[in-house]
Amino acid sequence: MQQKQRLTRSTAYFIPYTLWIVLFVIAPVLLLIYQSFFNIDGQFTFANYQTYFASSTYLMMTVNSVWYAFLITLATLLISYPTAYLLNETKHPQLWLLLIIMPTWINLLLKAYAFIGIFSQAGIANQFLSFIGIGPKQLLFTNFSFIFVAAYIQIPFMVLPIYNSISELKPSYVNASRDLGATNWQTFSRVIFPLTLPGVKAGIQAVFIPSLSLFMLTRLIGGNKVITLGTAIEEHFLTTMNWGMGSTIGVVLIIAMVIIMWLTSGRQPRKGLTK
Amino acid sequence: MAVNAQPIIRLTNVCKSYGDHQILKNINLELEAGKFYTLLGPSGCGKTTILRTIAGFTDATSGQVEFDGQVINTLPANQRQLNTVFQDYALFPHLTVAENVAFGLKLQKVAKTEINQRVQEALALVQLADFGDREISEISGGQQQRVAIARALVMRPKVLLLDEPLSALDAKLRKDMQYELRDLQQRLGITFLFVTHDQEEALAMSDEIFVMNSGEILQGGTPVDIYDEPINHFVANFIGESNIIPGQMKQDYEVEFVGKRFECADAGMRPNEDVEVVLRPEDLDIVAADQGKLVVTVDSQLFRGNYFEIVAFDADQNEWLVHSTNPADEGTPIGLTFDPQDIHVMRLHESEAAFDARLEQYEDD
């Protein structure tokens, strides 16, 4: 009797979350899938998917999206791993972590506009290039600036999980590795990196998936030279009003994300990796 | 003793400090090859720091660390021919048992067939021959302990450093491992340097013990020497249980305590020098009150299984701990007797060198 009561009460705690998930995750996804089977005139059709997979434009966009998301993730990882590593060596890692996280409190749009200023012809970046005698150069609306700004925005989301896994490493692992004759590099590649891989995977998930559907930055910083699936979805919903086609691209993106999630978390590392 | 008894490890005037905090104060230490040594002391006494200095995980602030005649102060840890068994074992959780043991050999680029063979041998040595494919998380603490030992021994080190490796095991397993470690050391003939805060462990396993406190080695010697002839109050108290009573040395072989003079085996002090007298609880025998050399009143007693632990007080209110096979009546006076050689007299501030010299001089009398 009492147990049953407790059970109903603990179920009750899940109601707000379940409601939220149903209303704002499951329902929209179902709507999206439903919508993707209708053409612009409201008739049921598979044509959207046919168009998507037959058109070289959409396939190119897919390849582009994946490629740029990959580049952004790679750049973020290359910067974040050493950062997280050094962070762990500092005396006050929590303070430095706070400084790294702080930019995420600022609206994405504001940061994008700030970079327009920095990268513009008369911006501070070009002033510096002129000063050292190799500028001014066209910085804004280039692939470089797009990747640069995207990586800048994503770095905190990569540093955090990697830092967590590094800080959980027992120092005796490093000593044991050296004790057994490993050089610093061997210790890193055979002990530290494999043991922090869960953090790296979590970071990749946190960066790669959002990077697939970036559209604001492609426009503001990339100058729409890079057309990703995110841009295409925005165009279909807001400009051409072809919601069916927009939904189809959305569904394809969701499937791509599920695949990435499965790839990066499917082969779970062995139990008890950290403390 | 062999003529070419060059120590395998020698520390000369090793000091270590962090800022103003001195962790090691002028440590001098010599280890002969093939013996089982123990650094014994309470936590924070610097014993692990000595181990880390020898392993190369930390640098001495000053002084010299020698290995097999070579100064190794600046040699990185990965180039030292010794291996460590860590307190938390530090087994790599992403590798299997066999991969953990093979770790060091792979780095040395040893041929695959030889690696497999040596890993199997090492695992057999610690009785884990069939555990090679297990994950570290799948085996018990005692088995992890053995893997850690196998991983170090497979490297064929000249010296094995063991940092409180038994402290995480339960009492029964701990005892078994004491026998096994001692047995392993004697079979392999490798020098073991074992760090512990457990005096029973140290007494049971070691050829030689170094007792440490607050960054200093107070006394080095065989377990029997240290138990029978502790140099000072700290050592007497730390190793085994003791009655430590203030007294006065009247002349050679005669000491006064609790208002009485007793014949003893110690000499070489000044006449009427203030000293401390050590009597081990198991050396005291209970007799009728009128027959005792000392008369004490029983305060309390505990049954410890193979003996009764009796706490009693003498007329000067000194506490006496007595181990007896027979119970005593609380509140009643009893007599205590002991032999002259059961009395050990300690000078109040004697250096280890002076202590050893004095012992040497009067031992043969």
Provide CB contacts within 8 A for B230, sequence distance 6+: B219, B236, B239, B242, B278, B344, B346
| CATH number for domain B233-363, candidates 3.90.580.10, 3.30.70.260, 2.40.50.140, 2.60.40.10 | 2.40.50.140
For residue A99, give the amino acid letter. L
How far A165 CA sits from the closest chain B CA (Å)? 14
Residue B2 vs residue A99, higher pLDDT: A99
Q: Average pLDDT for residues B251-269, to the nearest whole number?
A: 91
Tell if the CB–CB gap between B77 and A179 is shorter than 8 Å.
yes
Residue A111 touches chain B, beta carbons under 8 Å: no
B93–A272: do the CB atoms touch at under 8 Å?
Answer: yes
User: Do residue B90 and residue A271 have CB atoms under 8 angstroms apart?
Assistant: no
Please give the residue of chain A at the shortest CA–CA distance from B150.
Answer: A180
Q: What is the mean pLDDT of chain B?
A: 91
Nearest-Cα residue of chain B relative to residue A198: B94
CB contact under 8 A, A183 and B78: yes
Tell me if A187 sits within 8 A of A174, measured CB to CB.
yes
Contacts of B79 in chain A (CB under 8 A): 181
Residues B283-296 pLDDT 10s: 999 999 888 899 99
**pLDDT in the model for residue A26:** 93
Interchain pair B76, A178: CB under 8 A: yes
Best to test chain B binding among A180, A192, A274 (most B CBs inside 10 Å): A180
Q: How far B10 CA sits from the closest chain A CA (Å)?
A: 19
Q: How far apart are CA B268 and CA A140, in angstroms?
A: 91
Question: Is A206 at the interface with chain B, CB within 8 A?
Answer: no
Please report the pLDDT score of residue B363 as a whole number: 66
Asked if A173's CB is within 8 angstroms of B87's CB, the reply is no
Question: Does the CB of A188 have a partner CB in chain B at under 8 Å?
Answer: no
Enumerate the domain spans of chain A.
56-266
Q: Label residue A116 exposed, middle or buried (CB < 10 Å: 0-12, 13-18, 19+).
A: middle
In this complex, the residue of A182, A273, A274 whose CB is nearest that of residue B78 is A182
pLDDT on residue A267: 54
Contact B88 A170 (CB under 8 A): yes
Structural class in CATH, domain B9-228: alpha beta
Confidence of residue B358 (pLDDT cuts 50, 70, 90): confident
ipTM > 0.85?
Answer: no
The mean pLDDT of B167-174, rounded to a whole number, is 85
Report the C-alpha gap between A207 and A164 in whole angstroms: 16
Distance from CA of B172 to the nearest CA of A (A): 26
Whole-prediction pTM value? 0.81
Torsion angle (degrees, nearest 10) of CA B75, B79, B83, B87: 60
Chain B interface includes A193 (CB < 8 A):
no
- Helices and strands counted in chain A (H then E): 14, 0
Find the CB nearest B93 among A181, A190, A270: A270
- Would you mind telling me the total number of residues written for chain B in this entry? 365
Res A274: pLDDT = 40
**Residue among B350, B329, B97, B336 at smallest CA distance from B234:** B350
C-alpha B210/C-alpha B289 separation (Å) is: 40
CB contact under 8 A, B94 and A269: yes
Q: Do B92 and A175 touch (CB under 8 A)?
A: no
B157 touches chain A (CB under 8 A): no
- A182 in contact with B at a CB cutoff of 8 Å? yes
- Which of B90, B94, B135 lies nearest to residue A176, judging by beta carbons? B90
Q: Tell the burial category of B232 from Cβ atoms under 10 Å away from its Cβ (0-12, 13-18, 19+).
A: buried
State both tokens at B175.
Answer: 């005892």
Bridge partners (DSSP) of residue A202 are: none
Strands B82-85 and B159-163: what pairing? Answer: parallel
Q: What does residue A139 show for φ and ψ, rounded to 5 degrees?
A: -105, -45
Q: Do B55 and A180 touch (CB under 8 A)?
A: no
What are the pLDDT tens digits along chain A (275 aa)?
Answer: 566 677 677 788 888 999 999 999 999 999 999 999 988 888 888 888 998 889 888 888 888 888 999 999 999 999 999 999 999 989 999 999 999 999 889 888 898 899 988 888 888 888 888 888 887 788 788 888 899 999 999 999 999 999 999 999 998 999 999 999 999 999 999 999 999 999 999 999 899 988 887 877 888 887 777 778 888 888 888 888 888 999 999 998 888 888 888 887 755 544 444 43
Asked if B16 is an interface residue toward chain A (Cβ–Cβ < 8 A), one would say no
Instruction: Tell me whether residues B90 and A194 touch, CB distance under 8 A.
Output: no
Place of tokens 């004491």: B178
CB of B75 less than 8 A from some CB of A = no
Residue B1's pLDDT band, with cuts at 50, 70 and 90, is very low
In DSSP notation, A43-94 reads -B-SHHHHHHHH-HHHHHHHHHHHHHHHHHHHHHHHHHHHHHHHHHHSS-HH
Q: Is-cis flag, bond preceding A136, omega within 30?
A: yes
CA–CA separation, B341 vs B280, rounded Å? Answer: 11
Q: Is A176 on the interface with B (CB under 8 A)?
A: yes
Smallest CA–CA distance from A176 into chain B, residue = B90
Residue of B nearest to A269 (CA): B94
Of A175, A180, A270, Cβ closest to residue B57: A175
Instruction: Choose the mutation target among B97, B103, B109, B135 for the interface with A, i.e. most A CBs under 10 Å.
Output: B103
Nearest Cα of chain A lies from the Cα of B19 at a distance, in angstroms, of 16
Instruction: Answer whether residue B132 shows pLDDT above 90.
Output: yes
Instruction: Indicate the CATH number for domain A56-266.
Output: 1.10.3720.10
From CA B193, how far away is CA B202, in angstroms rounded? 11
Strand partners, B196: B40
Chain B residue closest in CA terms to A191: B92
> Which residue ranges make up each domain of chain B?
9-228, 233-363
- Collapsing DSSP to helix, strand or coil, A132 comes out as coil
- With a CB cutoff of 8 Å and minimum separation 6, the contacts of A267 are none
Backbone angles phi, psi at B328, to 5 degrees: -125, 165
Query: Could you tell me the pLDDT band of residue B40, with boundaries at 50, 70 and 90?
Result: very high
Of A178, A179, A271, the CB nearest to B137: A271
Residues of B in contact with A195 (CB under 8 A): 92-94
Residues B137, A272: C-beta atoms closer than 8 Å:
yes
Of B214, B205, B197, the C-alpha closest to B42 is: B197
**8 Å CB contact of A272 and B136:** yes
